[in-house]
Amino acid sequence: MLNRVRSAVAHLVSSGGVSPPRPKSPDLPNATSAPPAALPEALKSPRARAGSESGAPAKTVDTRASFSRPTFLQLSPGGLRRADDQAGRAVQSPPDTGRRLPWSTGYAEVINAGKSRHNEDQACCEVVYVEGRRNVTGAPKEPSRGQGLCFYYWGLFDGHAGGGAAEMAARLLHRHIQEQLKDLVEILQEPSPPPLCLSSTPGASDPSHLVGPQSCWSSQKEVTHESLVVGAIENAFQLMDEQMARERRGHQVEGGCCALVVIYLLGKVYVANAGDSRAIIVRNGEIIPMSREFTPETERQRLQLLGFLKPELLGGEFTHLEFPRRIQPKELGQRMLYRDQNMTGWAYKKIELEDLRFPLVCGEGKKARVMATIGVTRGLGDHNLKVCSSTLPIKPFLSCFPEVQVYDLTQYEHCPDDVLVLGTDGLWDVTSDHEVAATVDRVLSAYEPNDCSRYTALAQALVLGARGTPRDRGWRLPNNKLGSGDDISVFVIPLGGPGSYS
């Protein structure tokens, strides 16, 4: 992510720091919230899994530096060096030969133009089998492979201030989701609504005799299967973030990352986003946004409220009020426009001494920052991120929770030209939704509907269109505007294509 963390004002304290205070998670009764020693094998954290079948990144054997690209790119040592070449910026895709990605998914990526030494984006594409852990009544049971569930999984992770968090998320986040779903395998396959309470003595939890009429307790809420999957994804993000916090010392989990994840399970597509990557569906030419971005601008009121309620998090260095520009000390006593955590409009206030502190949120667009440092407000990692020349942690203001949007794939008969496009901000900074839809139309119409390579060609076209070509001492688009100098990664997921939807 280009300039997402201002190196001029931020530094990383990568050893021995005290974990910043974070909202405590409820004591969830699953294996992943247990201490690291009890982690399931899949959730343990080797830094690279040589020869892994996983779509998550494996470290290269390149000796210049430690970096990795997704294994599904099947890069040779020479290919890895080309992928890491910031002068040539060659677009990378999985090879035509060999195993395709599930659903004939298209993928393409390109390294940045020099903003960081390596490509800090990571990607993962997997089919994950979930074996049930227990039956509905809570009694342990023998594993029975026939009752398991499969989900399809795509993840884009846009790293900042180091590649470690993105690498770890690409390697492990789907495993956390798998762990969370283990308890739900039977419940999700039952046609009846999920049980509200898992009791070992059936019938014991009927509360009807306890609730009187006319009370706010008089009814039970009906909880849907869909909302259980959403809850599983939300908790998986939190547990991934907690694992990063635990392992940051031993394994040097550097930096943080945005995470955009898609899961297909039992007929529904779940798009979970924490950060400023974006997903849209292009369906019959129509654009359906499938995510919202989380930035200091879109989350201003959440950030200000936290600073207002917990002023100790501002360390006497910041004010939770927003001002439209920097205040000069000599303006003390004059009247300046401001907004607080309750306001969407602006009003004038008399400038007081504490208003001269740096504002918690400032700047606009790509220059918007929290604590003058970070330009994105949700994601994984960043446990060591501090304000420049200060020990003040920024993590308490960052949320690891995604917003999950659900799309029912069975409610519409999709054609092979209907796609879900995921991109890191390198794509969206220079490409509008309508330009993406036009490229979808242009590229897919040049291929036969049953040609599985069309989605990779589309992903490549989108990446190339955002990168541009080298001209006039920079990467430029056909309209001569600057192309994106950021890492760019794109998945194109066909919704009615030649893939198999189990």
CB of 232 to its own copies, least distance (A): 6
- Nearer to its own copies by C-beta: 194 or 498? 194
CA 475 and chain centroid, separation: 27
Name which of 346, 394, 352, 392 is nearest 374 in CA terms: 394
Kindly state whether residue 38 participates in binding its own copies, applying the rule CB under 8 A: no
Q: Which of 339, 383, 395, 454 binds its own copies (CB under 8 A)?
A: 339
Q: Which of 46, 81, 217, 445 binds its own copies (CB under 8 A)?
A: 217
Kindly state whether residue 66 participates in binding its own copies, applying the rule CB under 8 A: no
Cα separation, 451 vs 164, whole angstroms: 36
- Nearer to its own copies by C-beta: 62 or 340? 340
Cα separation, 339 vs 324, whole angstroms: 9
User: Which H, E and C letters describe 399-443, residue by residue?
Assistant: ECCCEEEEEEHHHCCCCCCCEEEEECHHHHCCCCHHHHHHHHHHH
- Nearer to its own copies by C-beta: 82 or 302? 302
Q: What is the phi/psi pair of residue 385, to 5°?
A: -70, 125
Q: Which of 328, 432, 450, 502 binds its own copies (CB under 8 A)?
A: 328
Cα separation, 288 vs 387, whole angstroms: 38
Q: Which stretch binds its own copies (CB under 8 A): 257-265, 328-336, 418-426, 431-439?
A: 328-336
Q: Which residues pair with 92 in a beta bridge?
A: 109
Question: In this structure, what token pair is assigned to residue 287?
Answer: 């654009």
Q: What is the DSSP letter of 136?
A: T
Q: Which of 19, 218, 432, 445 binds its own copies (CB under 8 A)?
A: 218
Q: Which of 63, 192, 344, 389 binds its own copies (CB under 8 A)?
A: 344
Question: In this structure, what token pair is assigned to residue 164?
Answer: 């470690």
Kindly state whether residue 135 participates in binding its own copies, applying the rule CB under 8 A: no
- Nearer to its own copies by C-beta: 113 or 437? 113
| Core vs surface per residue 351-385: b (16+ CB within 10 A) or e | beeebebebbbbbeeeebbbbbbbbbbbbbbbbbb
Q: Which stretch binds its own copies (CB under 8 A): 57-65, 122-130, 142-150, 193-201?
A: 193-201
Q: Which of 123, 161, 170, 233 binds its own copies (CB under 8 A)?
A: 233
Kindly state whether residue 115 participates in binding its own copies, applying the rule CB under 8 A: no
H or E, element range at 463: helix 454-467
Q: Which of 34, 150, 347, 446 binds its own copies (CB under 8 A)?
A: 347
Kindly state whether residue 310 participates in binding its own copies, applying the rule CB under 8 A: yes
Beta-carbon-side half-sphere exposure of residue 228 (alpha carbons within 13 Å): 21
Q: Which stretch binds its own copies (CB under 8 A): 40-48, 55-63, 305-313, 387-395?
A: 305-313
Alpha-helix runs per DSSP H in 264-391: 300-309
CB of 8 to its own copies, least distance (A): 8
- Nearer to its own copies by C-beta: 215 or 480? 215
Contact 185, 248 (CB under 8 A): no
Kindly state whether residue 205 participates in binding its own copies, applying the rule CB under 8 A: yes
Q: Which of 68, 112, 178, 238 binds its own copies (CB under 8 A)?
A: 238
Kindly state whether residue 336 participates in binding its own copies, applying the rule CB under 8 A: yes
Residues 436-495 that bind its own copies (CB under 8 A): none
Strands 369-370 and 380-381: unpaired
Kindly state whether residue 215 participates in binding its own copies, applying the rule CB under 8 A: yes
H or E, element range at 236: helix 225-251
Contact 373, 6 (CB under 8 A): yes
Reduced to 3 states (helix: H, G, I; strand: E, B; else coil), residue 24 is: coil
CB of 111 to its own copies, least distance (A): 22
Strands 268-274 and 256-265: antiparallel
Task: Tell me the per-residue interface mask from 373 to 412 with its own copies, x by CB under 8 A, - otherwise.
Answer: --------------------------x-x-xx--------
Q: Which stretch binds its own copies (CB under 8 A): 42-50, 142-150, 308-316, 457-465?
A: 308-316
- Nearer to its own copies by C-beta: 138 or 449? 138
Kindly state whether residue 151 participates in binding its own copies, applying the rule CB under 8 A: no
Measured CA to CA in angstroms, residue 265 lies from 190, 229, 273, 502 at distances of 14, 9, 17, 9
Q: Which of 118, 248, 369, 395 binds its own copies (CB under 8 A)?
A: 369
